[in-house]
Amino acid sequence: MAMTHSPTFILTTSGEGLQLPQQDLAGPQGLAVKRYSYLEDMIMTLTQKTRHVFLLAVATFFLFATLSHAADFKDDVALLERTSKAISHVAETATPAVVHVDVEKSVKAQQMPSFEFFENPFFEHFFGPDFRQQVPKRQERKQRGQGSGFIINKEGYILTNYHVVSDADEITVTLNDNTKVEAELVGTDPQSDIALIKIDHGNNLPFLPLGDSDKMKVGEWVIAIGNPFGLDQTVTVGVISAKGRSKVGLNEYENFIQTDAAINPGNSGGPMLNIYGEVVGINSALYSRTGGYMGIGFAIPVNMVKAIKDQLMNNGKVIRGWLGVVIQDVNEDLAQSFGLEKARGILISEVQKDSPADKAGIEQGDIIVSLNGVELKNSSDLRNRVAMVVPGTKTDVGIIRNGKEQSIKVKIGEQPKNFARGGKSYDPGGAFYEKYGLSFQELTPELAEQLGYRDEEGVLIGDVEPDSAADSAGLQPGQLIQEINKKRVTSLDDVDKVMKQSTDTGRILLRVHSGRYSQYVVLVAE
């Protein structure tokens, strides 16, 4: 049977009504003609008035369609205008509380190798004890740096990054009205790159409220304010690109918010704000192969900052919780080996003797899946959450043992000074420790993964004695030693060998890597 097609109706303005193209009709010719005649008779019976009404209705339809499209466009513009005004309002409201942080520190100029040669004790023995007094000494010079910060209360407390103010002799804060005020260092936490400073400038300073970074979602708008390259009160806008970024290799404790809002050198320490003007993060670092903006910036989530800020304000330092286990993420191979349906949780590869975990009955081979009922994402998530628990607090640790889930209550301990996380430790002789206040620890694959040293080699600083040469030089447990007296070290055996070969001059040269960079540090026996 031949297919039939409905005739096409074309509206004309000639007063002839509707034209029905003959070629659009299909089927037997007689049927087509009859069909055409029937429709034509029907249309021609319409009065002139009826046709005018019909035409008016169609014209009205197109008019309203056009007006509706124009209204939609107007609504879109209005939405963009409201968004623009909201961002502008946040910037206008927040900038008075954002400050420029300038620091000045004393550093010793690099001594020429020819003069270092005369440090050898042989010359003192040959020329006499006053010989070294005639050798030119390294001169101190002033080094300046800058960053950003923001006021968090009327009393003048200011949050910024540790790397902005570390080792500073003087800290100067420039307020929004260009007033310069000397600031005092209240406390720092190098492990999270957070610092708290304070200015005395009345009790009615503008400040920023702290929001809730856990509520922020990927794709939401954020506003960054700071002083990139010294350009005061620069505002940039972007979205949250990702949350929970860890193992970036910047800090020991990482849970970064990733953003595409432009963050450049000088932005460090400035606030990341939501559309309500609340701080949701501290701008901390950027990923770049050029030294400038490449669309990837990192901020410390404000919920991590809050707990640290309170401790710095009250104690000047941070006391962290401690579980006492060596951990690693569970991958697909490990999941299969431990009888899990999918990769989840954190595998305990070692339990330290007499640690809180050991006392609570946690065993090697257990898989931790939750803490106080909160499911854990990875090993970094576990470390961050345990660290923020107040020592002495009883905590429910959810584990999988032999394929069965159970909960163990653990009394969280205080993280020891030597940051013992497993692996052999080494003190090259008690006399050495007494001289420099420093011991070393083996860098195991698990520790390298936890501390962000996956692609590095060396030995860890295990313990730093307070008020020792190592402490005065700013060394911290967990930093990586890559060289001793210009000799590369990758194990404790290397350390032992280098120390036995070195002449005891009362000085030791270390190359220290702390995640962001490496630098040489000289320890002088006290």
Q: Name the catalytic one among 148, 213, 246, 268.
A: 268
Annotated catalytic residue 69? no
What is the DSSP annotation of 255-311?
-EEEE-S---TT-TT-EEE-TTS-EEEEEEEE--SSSS--S-EEEEEHHHHHHHHHH
Q: Taking the CB of residue 84, how many other CB atoms lie within 10 A of it?
A: 11
Strands 98-108 vs 18-19: parallel, antiparallel or unpaired: unpaired
Q: Which is the catalytic residue, given 163, 189, 380, 439?
A: 163
Tokens 């990733």 -> residue:
258
Q: What is the DSSP string of 441-481?
A: EE--HHHHHHHT-TT--SEEEEEE-TTSHHHHTT--TT-EE
- Give 285-292 contacts, CB < 8 A, sequence gap 24+: 285/248, 285/250, 285/256, 285/516, 291/265, 292/264, 292/265
Residue 193 annotated in active site: yes
Catalytic residue among 102, 193, 463, 494: 193
- Per the annotation, the verdict on 163 as an active-site residue is yes
Angle at 14 between CA 12 and CA 17, to 5 degrees: 60
The residue behind tokens 């899990």 is 340
Contacts (Cβ under 8 Å, ≥6 apart) of 4: 26, 27
Q: Binding site for substrate: which residues? A: 104, 163, 193, 266-268
Residue type, 4: T
Binding residues: 104, 163, 193, 266-268
| Alpha-carbon gap, residue 16 to 29, rounded angstroms | 24
Beta bridge partners of 256: 245
Supply the residues annotated as catalytic: 163, 193, 268
